[in-house]
Structure 1
Amino acid sequence: MLSFGKIQYFYLYLLTNPKTTQIGIYTITRKQLAFTLGYSIEKVHSLMERFINQYKLIRYNPETRELAIKNW
């Protein structure tokens, strides 16, 4: 179960990490997210699925490893 604090922390990191660009699209891997945040890769995958499917706040292309923040 994901706590509300972890969800907020994850989104805040997506918005403010060093790879963030002015247009809100940048390359990052799930492994990099897990390492930086101190989460397991499974937890990062779960958070990303939630942000993509439930909240519809991000898009992620696993082939190019690009993450796009919607309404940036």
Structure 2
Amino acid sequence: MVSVANIYSRHLIAATPQTEASRLAATFVEYNVGAIPIVDAKDQLVGIVTRTDLLRLLISGAHIESWA
């Protein structure tokens, strides 16, 4: 059996609805995470963005030139 203490991180990585897609992408690479919770000004969870979400955005023809 694996305990939660063995798999959790002490640092919470989260973003707001206003966070740029490019910043999310950089965070995925920098911290090697698979998902980032999106929280509002009241620290309420409003969604989750995954690496797959960003890949789908990329292949859908989004304006990726503005990501850099």
Query: TM-score if structure 2 supplies the norm length?
Result: 0.33
More RCO (CA 8 Å, sep 6+) = 1
Higher share in helix: 1
Rg (Cα) greater in structure: 2
